[in-house]
Amino acid sequence: MPRPFATPMPRPIERFLTSRYVFLRLIATTTALTILSGVLISLVDREEFPSVWLGMWWAIQTVSTVGYGDVTPAAVQGRIIAAFVMVVGVGFISLITATVASSLISRVREDENVREQKIAAGVERLERRLDELERLLRER
Domain annotation for the chain: domains and CATH numbers: 11-102 (1.10.287.70)
Q: What is the pLDDT of residues 59-68, one digit of tens each?
A: 999 988 888 8
With beta carbons less than 8 A apart as the criterion, state whether 49 and 62 touch.
no
**Amino acid sitting at position 52:** V
Q: According to DSSP H, which parts of 52-75 are helical?
A: 52-63
Q: Please, what is the angle between helix 20-44 and helix 52-63, to 10°?
A: 140
How is 88-127 classified by DSSP, letter by letter? HHHHHHHHHHHHHHHHHHHHHHHHHHHHHHHHHHHHHHHH
At 71-130, the pLDDT tens digits run 889 889 989 999 999 998 888 888 888 777 877 787 788 888 888 899 999 999 999 999
pLDDT one-digit tens code per residue, 5-57: 556 667 777 666 666 677 788 888 889 999 999 999 999 999 999 999 999 99
Contact present, 45 and 72 (Cβ < 8 Å): no
Q: Is 16 exposed, middle or buried (0-12, 13-18, 19+ CB in 10 A)?
A: middle
